[in-house]
Chain A
């Protein structure tokens, strides 16, 4: 239910409006008879599509254009990321550059309710998570006194943890597109625990009925886990197994990312 915030800068709707509630649950349950509603196996990821380069094609190189950008799809998740930098930093640290992330859901992106334009606490937290997941991969010592900014916009979201993982993958592609020096590409993947089974890459409906969700972001060449977040209760061995499986899934995502980046190098004009 959204009590609409009055925003002087925007055209405001009526002061109070609510999303409709469906009286029946619908026939499609996320998990039926050990199978998933969309027919995937338990460890199958949704198909990934990536394209680097701006969403709106710019005819000539513009000095105000982002240094790098990427568009990422995973199932119904659609994310776009723009990277600016390295450029003059506000907090100038003479030893290392700084990396800042901005994360925002588009108002129409989430299944549960329309999001107001003002950033919520969860968007701010996700921005922090993205910073902490990506910063270890960037060679910040190579850019003293400079700052690198990544702006992530979620056009459509499907599963909170899956969206965060997708955002990480998208930023990786955008950083590579910008030519920023990286130790490795960061690949991320999420899982949820349902009826004592770990299911990879869950969409919103599956996450809602799961008792625990987890995502891992990883640099496969360096074999370093740059971020780990678990929400919900598990027994300790369950977490261990999940981290293992998730790391393997990350390796598969990594393969897709690398293959795409290589292909895009070979055909720069497309």
Chain B
């Protein structure tokens, strides 16, 4: 189906809403990116969404799409299966990610070589259901993501609670691990999996390399629990009202939420009000 093409002016192409099968451009100068397909010299859209243009690259971004990993993405995943020398990890994508035994830190020092007993005791590191903070290292031949946790900040997640959001609301940025001023750590996985936890100083993590695979939580005080619940609710409402989720927007939401009780954040009027508040502040900032 042809959408009315007024001119070849490149400024018109971007931010148009298109449906699958719409013509984006006939100009051969453009390269096609995600969300498009080409037939002869014409580039068509393959999804319903907004057209984006970066220099000569034209792509279409749909409103909702499954997360597809890129190398270097920071993600949070849940172990679904323990297989021979590897773990299968649910990363909210079209395929499970793979975490190889050779890609994790072994307790007792980063440089320790893996031994045979490690292969037999894989569950002492990660078992089914565990949450892991990892980075995408590469792809396998079939497109499955290969993950690694070869840095001390990565590894098993503890002391907190898990929140799921739309992946496209988490922009890629320099850092995905933040310590918020209210004393809570958050991990923003690009795949839409987020971890909110009690703040544990980095130095403490480095001291106890033996305990990096422990399942035991630290002691969490009542105030910390309340703050964690508050931040989790803020993230839920930002997600529901389609606001970008970054440390800044979460902090804005947190500050605006302080006048309300934690449980009220999830009710209609207050949630809409807070999201509006956050959007306004974000616009003012930029």
Contact = CB atoms under 8 A, between A and B. Distances in A.
A94 interface: yes
B13 interface: no
Interface residues of B, number: 4
Contacts of A94: 82, 123, 127-128
Interface string B69-92: 000000000000010000000000
Interface in A50-96: 94-95
B231 to A, nearest CB: 30
A98 to B, nearest CB: 15
A94 B82 CA distance: 10
Contacts of B82: 94
Nearest to B129: A95
Interface string B98-133: 000000000000000000000000010001100000
A94 B128 CA distance: 8
Contacts of A95: 127
A161 B18 CA distance: 63
A94 B123 CA distance: 10
A94 B127 CA distance: 9
A95 B130 CA distance: 13
A95 B127 CA distance: 10
Nearest to B123: A94
A145 to B, nearest CB: 12
B125 to A, nearest CB: 14
Contacts of B127: 94-95
A85 B271 CA distance: 52
A95 B82 CA distance: 13
Nearest to A93: B128
A95 B128 CA distance: 9
A31 to B, nearest CB: 51
Interface in B123-170: 123, 127-128
Nearest to B82: A94
A94 B122 CA distance: 12
A94 to B, nearest CB: 6
B41 to A, nearest CB: 54
B122 to A, nearest CB: 11
Interface in A136-181: none
Interface in A91-120: 94-95
Interface string B223-235: 0000000000000
Contacts of B128: 94
A95 B123 CA distance: 11
A95 B215 CA distance: 14
Interface of B: 82, 123, 127-128
Interface of A: 94-95
5 contacts: A94-B82, A94-B123, A94-B127, A94-B128, A95-B127
Those 3 A-B pairs whose CB atoms lie nearest each other, nearest first? A94-B128, A94-B123, A94-B127
